């Protein structure tokens, strides 16, 4: 399984870089003002965006893949944000799109990866990249990963944008945006 992940990583890196270089100025958008999903978690249980666990929460949704190098550089920041802001109302939701057709094998691979990375936030199985539009039909203009979507406590999308991987400036901006969406509470230093 490790060889498959490495092969997909190299292949995905090339695709991600090509997609981002071609469409660097174009940002994804949401048709309407909500992101709705019904996807399996890593144990195979269906998680729906309408569930109580998302009520009155700020969501940071990231669309990513293990084969996407910029996606991987963001993981430590998302771990830190979930740890620091979880009690104040943040839920990080990572929707993975992996190039493994078998759902059980895909989720097992994601479980192993999440465990190795010590991911402390919700990871959902979006399916293979070819099924992206089926999993999230309201998203338009997605040309590559990562993609970040900020959702306020009312469930309304505040912003959808391309992610380009970890940078200090990006982490500071994301921290400021989350502070504003979460509202008053104990402030935390930028990652």
pLDDT tens for 68-81 read 999 999 999 999 99
Q: Per-residue DSSP letters for 107-143?
A: HHHHHHHHHHHT--SEEEEEE-GGGHHHH-TTEE---
pLDDT band, very low/low/confident/very high, at 26 (cuts 50, 70, 90):
confident
Q: Tell me, what's the pLDDT at 160? A: 95
Q: List residues bridging with 47 in a β-sheet.
A: 39
Q: Tell me, what's the pLDDT at 25? A: 62
Q: Tell me, what's the pLDDT at 18? A: 38
- Give the residue from 71, 60, 58, 77 showing the smallest Cα distance to 97: 71
Is 98 in contact with 109 (CB distance < 8 Å)? Answer: yes
Residue 184, pLDDT > 70, answer yes
The mean pLDDT value for 27-38 works out to 93
Cα–Cα distance for residue pair 157/151, rounded to 1 Å: 4
Cα–Cα distance for residue pair 17/69, rounded to 1 Å: 9
With a pLDDT cut of 70, the percent of the chain lying above it is 83
CA dihedral 91, 61, 110, 143 (to 10 degrees): -170
The residue among 14 and 111 whose pLDDT is bigger is 111
């Amino acid at each position: 399984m490790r060889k498959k992940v490495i092969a997909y990583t190299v292949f995905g890196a090339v695709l991600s870089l090509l997609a981002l270089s071609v469409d660097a100025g174009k940002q994804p958008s949401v048709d309407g003002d909500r992101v709705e999903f019904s996807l399996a978690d890593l144990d195979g249980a269906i998680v729906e965006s309408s569930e109580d666990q998302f009520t009155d929460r700020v969501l940071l949704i990231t669309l990513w893949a293990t084969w996407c190098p910029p996606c991987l550089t963001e993981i430590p920041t998302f771990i830190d944000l979930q740890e620091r802001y979880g009690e104040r109302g943040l839920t990080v939701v990572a929707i993975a799109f992996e190039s493994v057709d078998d759902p059980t094998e895909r989720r097992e691979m994601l479980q192993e990866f999440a465990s190795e990375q010590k991911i402390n936030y919700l990871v959902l199985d979006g399916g293979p990249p070819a099924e992206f539009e089926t999993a999230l039909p309201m998203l338009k203009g997605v040309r590559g990963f990562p993609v970040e979507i900020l959702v306020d406590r009312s469930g309304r999308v505040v912003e959808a944008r391309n992610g380009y991987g970890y940078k200090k400036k990006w982490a500071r901006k994301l921290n400021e945006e989350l502070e504003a969406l979460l509202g008053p509470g104990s402030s935390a230093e930028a990652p």
